Each structure stands twice: as structure tokens, then as C-alpha cells.
Structure 1
Amino acid sequence: MLKVYFMSADSPSIMVRAAYPIYLGETLSKSEQQSIRQLLDLLPTDDINLNHKTDLSKPVLVIKDMVDGRGLACPMPLLKTKVALRSVVSGESLYVVATDPNSQADIMAFCQQSLQTKATNPLLLSINQATVSDSGELSASQSKYSVDTIYHFIITKTDSN
């Protein structure tokens, strides 16, 4: 279970993970925030820091948008990711979930290519994790997807300087 902090009415919520605190951007609707929390809860708990206060001096991931590519065949998760990245600026992240196993190779290669071609805002693949869930862990909205393996990606646009 991820630990969520509500800082104030005008601040995004924070999810504390061992590697990065994860902020949910204010542009996300309440239903999108709830969906993201449920999906991140599927990630292994061994890398979640529940015992320490948020250290804002560490790098943070600010999730601005989400791509739900579950149930979509290749290349649709990657194409939706490319479109969604247009609204993400340097320092912000995009959360992508997919069920097509090919999406893992596609998204990894796409992010690696952005680093190799010295793009204006190279893409850092901060989280690349597959989870297998049993049907009891999924909410009613998630259970409509027949595939139990979900591929999670958090892609961050970085500053090229």
C-alpha cells in the first residue's frame, strides 16, 4: 500500500516511494488520481518507504497525465504515449499502463532513442515494472481487462542542459 499525504488544499497529493516521492499533479481529476493510486498499489511494496517523512530534497516525480493502454494492442500504447507527452513539460512525468507485452520493449526503446538522439527534452524511464495481479486485487473498473499482467511506466521529460 502506498502512503499518500495531502499537503494542503492547493497542493497535489504525494505518494512516498523509496526511490522517488510521487506527486499527483493538480491537473489530474479525482477519478484519475484514484485510478493511479489503485494501479501504483499493485507495485511491489519492498520499494515503498512507509517509515520516513517525505524528503523534498530528493528528486520527485510529478505525474501530470496518464495513458491507460490496457487492452490495447501494439503499437497503440506507444502512440498514445507519444501524443500525451506533448502536454508534459521538462520536469513532469507521464504515467503509462499497458497490458500488451510488446509495449515494454517499445516504450523502453522510445525513451532510449530520445537519449541517444539528444532530443530537446530527453525522456527518462523512471519506473518500468510489470505486475501480475489476481482478480481480487482489481477494482470493478479495472477488472474489465482480461489480462492479469500490467506494465507500469513513469516517463519523465528532462532538461537537456
Structure 2
Amino acid sequence: MSADSPSIMVRASYPICLAETVSKSGQQSIRQLLDLLPVNDTNLKHKTDLSKPSLIIKNMVDGRGLACPMPLLKTKVALRSVVAGESLYVVATDPNSQADIMAFCQQSLQTDAENPLSLIINQATVSDSKAASDNQTKYSVDTIYHFIITKTDSN
């Protein structure tokens, strides 16, 4: 899987590429969500000489607004289309999803899974969103849990 160099982003100190198979609207959604993650300024200065291998995001699971166990179930289904070396980007708003996905990835490492899962990014961000109602502006704070899961080669 290849990705164009303009789509390389550095978030949470990892260079991230979006696979060509991700739709344009999917790429836009992923970029907006990844923009919530912190940026490592040191890596940004040397985009052409990144020491860490790029994470290639093949697909995204949008579990925002879904209650447990739906984000995990959608993640399991989406991982079927991800091969070794590729990553799945998962976002959720249910706090239980953090424990569920961490345990799921850890379990894959402890069993003799063909392609164990590596939880590369596990981070919560808080975003403020404005919603107008009756001439008043209300602020709602949403915690979004971000996960980038990579299938690794068992060899």
C-alpha cells in the first residue's frame, strides 16, 4: 500500500500516511480527527528524514456516539481488511472503549495470533464544540478516544 507524500502527517510523534484506498471524505474526517492529537515539533522540522516508519492507515472506525461494546465490535470487523504492516484508526466517545480496545490488543499479543495487534496510539482528547440554542451559545465538551492499531508480522 502506498500513500502520497502530501498526505504524510506527524501526530503524537508518529508519521502517518493515509492509504490510497481511503475515500476522499474518509481522508478529510481522519485528518480533522488527527488534528486533535498533539504534534511533535521536532519531527515536523525533518519531514523528509523521519526516523520512525510511517503508520499506514488503511481504514477508520468511527465509534463516536456508540455505546460499549459497539466500538470494539466494529473494530474487530474492520481489522479483517487490514494486513500486516497496515493500521486501523479508531475513534470513540465511550470511556469503556479505552479499556476494551486495550485489552483486545493485549490479548492478541498473549495468544498465538497470526498477526498480533500493536496499539500504537491510545490517547484521549477533549474538543469544545459550540451549539446555538435559543440565542444562547452552549459549549459541550466531548472526550474522544483515539486508537491506532497496527497488525504486526508474527515472525
TM-score (norm 2): 0.85
**Which of these residues, 146, 152, 156, is aligned with residue 150 of structure 2?**
156
Whole-Å separation in 1 of the counterparts to 2:46 and 2:71: 35
Look at both structures and tell me which one has the larger radius of gyration over its CA atoms.
2
* Residue 54 (structure 2) aligns with: 60
Structure 2 portions without partners, runs of 5+: 131-139
Displacement after TM superposition at 1:86 (Å) = 0.1
For 1:1-161, what aligned pairs fall within 5 Å after superposition?
7=5, 13-17=7-11, 19-46=13-40, 49-55=43-49, 58-135=52-129, 148-161=142-155
Contact persistence 2:12–2:39 (CA under 8 A): no
Q: Secondary structure at the residue paired with 1:104? A: helix
Contact persistence 2:13–2:39 (CA under 8 A): no
Structure 1 portions without partners, runs of 5+: 137-145
Kindly indicate which of the two structures has a greater share of residues assigned to strand.
2
Please identify runs of 4+ aligned residues in structure 1 that moved more than 4 A.
Answer: none
Q: Secondary structure at the residue paired with 2:145? A: strand
CA distances 1:81-118 after superposition (whole Å, capped 9, x unpaired): 00000000000000000000000000000000000002
Whole-Å separation in 1 of the counterparts to 2:128 and 2:39: 16
Displacement after TM superposition at 1:14 (Å) = 1.1
Whole-Å separation in 2 of the counterparts to 1:108 and 1:158: 16
Sequence identity percentage: 85
Q: In structure 2, give the amino acid aligned to 1:80.
A: K
Displacement after TM superposition at 1:51 (Å) = 1.4
Displacement after TM superposition at 1:58 (Å) = 2.6
Q: In structure 1, give the amino acid aligned to 2:80.
A: R
Whole-Å separation in 2 of the counterparts to 1:18 and 1:78: 22
State the Cα RMSD in Å.
2.1
Contact persistence 1:17–1:49 (CA under 8 A): no
Displacement after TM superposition at 1:16 (Å) = 2.4
CA distances 1:7-39 after superposition (whole Å, capped 9, x unpaired): 3xxxx7211246321010000011100000000
Displacement after TM superposition at 1:48 (Å) = 7.1
